[in-house]
Every structure is written in C-alpha cells, then in structure tokens.
Structure 1
Amino acid sequence: MSSTTPGPQSVERALEILDLVADAGGPVGAKAMARRLGCSLSTVYHLLGPLTARGHLVRARGGGYAPGPRVAALHRSFQRHVGAGPGVGEVLAKLRRASGAEAYFTAYRDGRITVVDSTAPVTDPDHPFVPGPEVRAHATAHGKVLLAGVERGVRRRYLAEHGMARFTDRTITTAERFEAELARVRGQGFAVSVGEADPAYTCVAMVVPGGGEGVLHALSVSLPTAEFRRRHARVRAAVAECVRGFSGGAGNTGA
C-alpha cells in the first residue's frame, strides 16, 4: 500500500508528525520530518495538508510547522473527560503559593496516568515534570498514590505494560518493593519520591477523593531535594490543605 493512500499507514505517519512537532523545541521543517520518519518529502506534504487545514498544525512565520489552535481545544476536551474542572488552575496556583513549589494535577483513567495540568513554566524545557503521559509513574509521588488506589490486578497489568525502568539509583524497580512502598503510602495517606524519577528533585502527592467511576485524581508538588529537606513539613501541610479544599468543591472536578 502506498504511504500516501488513506489507511492505517497514513494515519500512523500523520500521528508521528504530530508527535514530532509536539516534542520539538521549535518549528519543524518538512525535510526534517521526512528524514526523521524515513519517508519521502511528497508523503510529508501530503499529510501536512489536512493537518494544517484542520488546525492541528500551523505554518510558522520563519518556516517549518508548529502546533496549531486545534491542540488547545483537544487539551480542554481531555481535561473535561478526566474531571479537571475550571477550578483546577486556581487550586494549583494556591498550592504553588502555599508550598513554594511547582504544583500538578494528575489523573488515572483506563490504565493510563497523565499529568493534566501544572504550574511549571511551559518555557522551561529543562523542568523534569511536564503535562502529558506519565512514563515514570512507579518513580513519582503522583504515580504512587494513584497506583496505590487501584486494585492489585489492575496495578500488575499497568506495571507489566509500562515496565519499571531505572531512572536513578533510588528508583524502585521490583514489584515486591513497589508493593511494600504502596502499602506505606496507603498507611500514611501521601507519597514521597526522593530522587527516584530525577536525581535532583523530590515530589509529594496525595489523592483527591471523589474522582468518579474508574478515575482517580492526585495533587502533587515538586521541588529540589535540598529545599524539601529544609521545609518538608510545610510542603506536606500545603498539599493536604489544598486536597481538603479540592474535596470540598474548590476544584469543581465534575466532568
């Protein structure tokens, strides 16, 4: 089947283009796309036409392609579907002020964990935690509290599918140790990850009650480990206070 004819291969290539542009630090040219995808330039232009026409991509002023306005609408739709109501941004801003750390709203749904929203600057490409699919759930505090809230069989399937890669020398990479860690998380009501996903950062998370059928939510913060050690009590208290406010309706998470 030709790569330019409608069908699964064209769909796969179009999605690869979207991922490539989304992950790039700036606009991406068609020739660069063709090289990365290992296909012809004509194939790339064939797919860029409908992607730009539908607003998923735009032609940048200086050349190349960048994410288009349709992406924002898709993100808002995704937020609604995982229960992130209009109050989430306000809660995260409050948590940022109270803790002095970047704040996050994360959701579990249908076997996937996603960082839905964050106060981390979008202009900081070096920040270790950004909105999007969470591929380090076993090494993050928000991943731990969310996985601690699902049934063991569901959790085993999740870990089998996503693996338990080692990111630092502190990362838990065995199911037995991870189950022990989650038992501790359930007992104390919060999760901490000290340098497990990124060697320089600590994150703290708590589950937000009332996520809905098959959906779990978490609030978390991340900060340099040295700062956490100096004011860990204040940071945990700030997360707990925002979770209580969220549960009382401040987050308005009804989908």
Structure 2
Amino acid sequence: MAGPQSVDRALALLDAVADAPGPLSAKALARRAGCSLSTVYHLLGPLTARGYLIRGPEGYAPGPRVPSLHRSFQRHMGAGTAVTALLRHVRRITGAEAYFTAYRGGRITVVDTTAPLTDTHHPFVPGIETRAHATAHGKALLAPLSRSARRRYLADHGMARLTERTITDEERFEAELAGVRARGVAVSVGEADPAYTCLAVPLSGRPDRALSVSLPVEDFRRRRGEVGSLLASAAAVFPAASE
C-alpha cells in the first residue's frame, strides 16, 4: 500500500491512539481504522520505529516523539517562556485556570494552559478548538476578523448547539461579537459547558492571540468584574515583541 491512502490511515491510527483512554491493541486499531490487521501492522512498524507510538503488553500508546512535536508546535505558535510566565501569573492572581489560544490558518487552537494534564474532566484542553463559537477565546479571536472570514470559519466548523445557552444563529453571533469589540472582553457563560464560564481578551498588539480564564459559573457570577479587570491588565502589558 502506498500513496495518500497509507498516510491517511497512519494518521488515523495516531488519532485513535491519542484519543483512547489507554493502550489499544492492533485488532482494536484495525476495527477503528476500518482496514485489515495486516495493513495495521504494516503501518505500526514505522510509527513505532520513529517513536510516534510505543508497544507495550496492553497495546499501543503515544511514543516519546510526541512531546517534542508538542513543544515544537508551541514554539511555532509563539508559546515561549513569556507566555508560560504570563499564564502562571494569571493563574496566581485570578485563582482560575489560564489559557493561551491562537488563530492561524483558519483554525483556532488552545496552545497552552495551566490546567493539570491529569484533570480529564476539564472542558478546555490543548488542541484544535471545535467549539470556538461557544467559547470566550473563540469569540475574542473571531471578533477582529472580517465578516467574510468569519463566515468561512463558521461554514467550515459549524455552530453546534452544546448547551441551552449556545448561540447557533449567525446574526445573533455577529451581534455578540460586536459587543466583544466594543468591550474588549469576550465572555461565554455556560455556552460550551453548562458548568463553566470563560473570559478572554486579545493579547496586546496580537489580535490573533488570546488570553483567557475559566471558572465555575457560580464563581463567575460573584467575581466577574474582578477577574475581567485582572485578565485585561495582564494581557495589556504582555510584551508582544517577545514572540
């Protein structure tokens, strides 16, 4: 097997292993990829040899090459030591988990966060953000775009209803983003997850980068003004040139 199909299937295997809660056997991977066991073994060989996967007694898991790819991705997205320090600072002064998010190539990605890797129940994790219309960081990054660019983004990614608060109408969403541009702060109250609220602001001089925090809805209702002010102040002094 050669050509794009083999590449697509190899990537499908990587996705399956990455999304699984634990190691997967070759048979399980064959079922998920919809191909023969011999094809799976043919692809697992080079993926394991290059360190993208490791094989253990219970099956295949992400390999040692993965962390270096993640670090490289963060570096290319501008998440250097200044961003790490900024996130820690925001976490310390607000008591809420902090996030660095970017818009690039028609996609919105959560690049880095202070949320522990072991917190599997946390609703916002590093990776492609598929719920940008329902998150504060998504609103903060979509607001500065042209109307046509936003329409392309929403056409590509959709506006799924995630909770009863999710905005799924394009005109209503446009009105929401007009408010974001006027206030300089984006807010999502239970739109992506009913238990969480997030606030976001663009980084100083970088409308394609956003700083955000998330906290339980009840905490937000008590601390909205305080947290919003602290977040805006932290983003305003971030040295854009350091990226």
TM-score relative to the length of structure 2 = 0.96
- Extract structure 1 runs of 4+ deviating beyond 3 A: none
Range moving further from structure 2, 92-101 or 136-145? 92-101
RMSD: 1.3
- State the secondary structure of the residue aligned to 1:168: coil
Percent of pairs with identical residues? 67
In 1: Cα distance, 2:51 partner to 2:234 partner: 36
Deviations 1:124-165 (A, max 9, x none): 211111000000000000000100011111111001111111
Q: Report deviation, 1:241.
A: 2.2
Residue 23, structure 1, aligned to residue 19, structure 2: yes
Deviations 1:75-108 (A, max 9, x none): 1222222222222111111111111111100000
In the other structure, the counterpart of 2:171 is: 176
Q: Report deviation, 1:176.
A: 0.3
In the other structure, the counterpart of 2:198 is: 203
In 2: Cα distance, 1:231 partner to 1:205 partner: 15
Q: Structure 1: any 5+ residue segments left out of the alignment? A: none
In the other structure, the counterpart of 1:50 is: 46
In the other structure, the counterpart of 2:149 is: 154
Residue 237, structure 1, aligned to residue 229, structure 2: yes
Matches within 5 A, 1:115-194: 115-194=110-189
In the other structure, the counterpart of 1:226 is: 218
In 1: Cα distance, 2:205 partner to 2:71 partner: 20
TM-score relative to the length of structure 1 = 0.92
- State the secondary structure of the residue aligned to 1:219: strand
- State the secondary structure of the residue aligned to 2:35: coil
- State the secondary structure of the residue aligned to 1:28: coil
The structure, 1 or 2, with the larger RCO (C-alpha pairs under 8 Å, 6+ apart) is: 1
Q: Report deviation, 1:74.
A: 1.5
Q: Given the alignment, which residue of 72, 92, 95 partners 2:90?
A: 95
In 2: Cα distance, 1:94 partner to 1:21 partner: 34
In 2: Cα distance, 1:53 partner to 1:9 partner: 20
Amino acid of the residue matched to residue 5 of structure 2?
Q
- State the secondary structure of the residue aligned to 2:237: helix
Is the contact between residue 136 and residue 199 of structure 2 (CA under 8 Å) also seen in structure 1? yes
Amino acid of the residue matched to residue 8 of structure 2?
E
In 2: Cα distance, 1:37 partner to 1:219 partner: 37
Q: Structure 2: any 5+ residue segments left out of the alignment? A: none
In 2: Cα distance, 1:91 partner to 1:64 partner: 39
In 2: Cα distance, 1:53 partner to 1:151 partner: 45
In 1: Cα distance, 2:232 partner to 2:239 partner: 11
In 1: Cα distance, 2:9 partner to 2:75 partner: 28
